[in-house]
Structure 1
Amino acid sequence: MSKPAPALSGPVPVDTAMPWALDVLRKEAAALAGLIADPPPALAGAIHRVAATDRPVLCCGAGKSGLVAAKTAATLASLGIPAFALSAGDAAHGDLGAVTPGSTLLLFSNSGNTAEILRIVPGLRARDCHLIALVGRADSPLGRAADTVVELRLAHEADHLGLAPTASTTLQMAVGDAIAVAASRLRGFSRADFLRSHPAGLLGQRALPVTAVMRRGAALPTVLAHMTLAEVASVMSSGLIGAACVVDWQGGLLGLIVDGDIRRAVQAQQDFHRVTAAAVMRESPVVVADTALLGEALDLMQHRDRGLLVLPVVDDADRLQGILHSVDLVPGR
């Protein structure tokens, strides 16, 4: 029978629990360091097998290892490799029918003797599946039954009893991540691919093309180089973004004028009916291509040396296509 949790009154002394917590971190770090120093020989084969499969990867485990399997499946899917978590218990009661013949499975079990997984191995074999076991012992029943055995050797768990899945699940999680990332890189999965897989929130917005958000047509304030500052100020006021693009007769971008340029002209007491846009415009402004994604535009605008509020969008001939304003890039707008 477990003891009741001790009652806490007032602040807990830092030195009471911190040594225990740091001991756990040291043990888990040591387990990872040992794995890095002597990596499992079969790890490379497991990565290539996952990268080469044309079917969803199935990740299976029980208990804490089942949670690791679910996380690994989510990481694989996030990095462009279709994957699903398969409950070992449910698979033995009908869900095995969801397994496509020829599938690749990642089977997580520290002991290599997990009854729920061993029970479904014959059914997976009947479906000609490739079994990759991530186990603590290669000579375990699961290790002997698998096609590829990634042995995650571990002397001790990290808890004070040496019983709770701690360091073992840390190794499983890390190796699951390693397989997912390396396999994704083998497939050539790119940043743009990653963003397209995350349609919600800021990540999803970064995956949009700039043309989906940029202001164009009547909402795009443009002036010609010979126009006076009085005319420029009028166009900028109607555009409501504090900027105007200076273009030639063919729509080529010549420069950019922002509110600050107009204020400086006022301070210099320039004649707004004689000074032209060409005299105050910023030549060669920072621009973004009309083939770019919003993520690229955000990076340009948020660069520490710039802090831009507006960004012209041009085609490959430097013709103005639109303009982005920082308010257009606010998530959820």
Structure 2
Amino acid sequence: MQQKYKNWMRKNLFSAVTILLSIGILAFFMGTEEGARNLRHALFHLQPVWLLWIAAGVLAGWLLEGYVLHLFCRHLYKEWSFGKSFYVGMVGLYYSALTPFNMGEPMEVYNMTKMGMNIGASTSIIAVKSLIHHAVTFFYSLVLISFELNYFQTRVSNFSFITIFGLISNSIFIILVTMFMTNEKLTNSLLRAIARFLDKIKLHKASEKFYNKVHDQLMVFHDCSKIIGRSFPLYTIAILLTLVQITIASLISYFVYRSFNLKGISVFTMVAADTFVTMVASFVPLPGSSGGAEGGFYLFFREFFGPAILPAITLWRISTYYLNILFGGVIVYWGKRKYRGSESKNIQN
């Protein structure tokens, strides 16, 4: 029993530290006397109808996350069920909330292969989906913020620095993923460089085994990427649904605003601010973009919420972050028992 407890602690220690870190950041925001007083006041005056809208927005985001992934899975593997896609999507959200540098995507690939999908195909699907999500968020946020540029320039401190950080980090990611997907010579050169390094440190057998195994999977990856890349209707539907998903996610900040019985700020302005904050904070190298998400929300929304800004951050993070951990943990546990315990054949491309 004691050994099982130690094994459980080893596996879950990082997750526990991550959650405590995130709670600590929120506690820091709420640690002032004014913050605690405003929180108590806000809790007694929240509007139940808008809390239901928040819940509906969160649920819609989860379903769309699974469905967009399902479009690509079904494109390569006709037998793949929506239940599996929803499970994998929640795995991504769950581990992105618990690990630094948003490591949810490698965990999605790992679980897809455990359910029988070829690693090349699963990597291709996650790479394409991730590229679409980041690209849509990037360009959508820039378009929205351009309409409100003068407003945010005059009201958000360090707006130029935040913009430059968001532009550079997202551009680098989009370019690298695109090159990796489309340039077989580049990925093969990177693979050879790793193999040469293993040779230099006297791991010749490991080098040869590594190259042969990964090279075969990379060929499958590029083949799958080409198959997906030829389907423009698939891309169009995925982009449109991702646009809807991002819009719904951004509307949650407006629902939070209305739940405090506040009025006067347009939906468009709040969606623009939320999308931009999400785009910039996505590359903060802490679990769930902790610190960056709260800080960005504070900078962009404090004028909207006034004295209620700290309770608003709390409710917003509960809705967009902590629920991913709570519900994601349940789905990860359930899906592992239901899907990973069953045998299924690899995809034949």
TM-score, length of structure 2 as denominator length: 0.27
More helix by share: 2
The higher-RCO structure (CA 8 Å, 6+ apart) is: 2
More strand by share: 1
Radius of gyration: which is bigger? Answer: 1
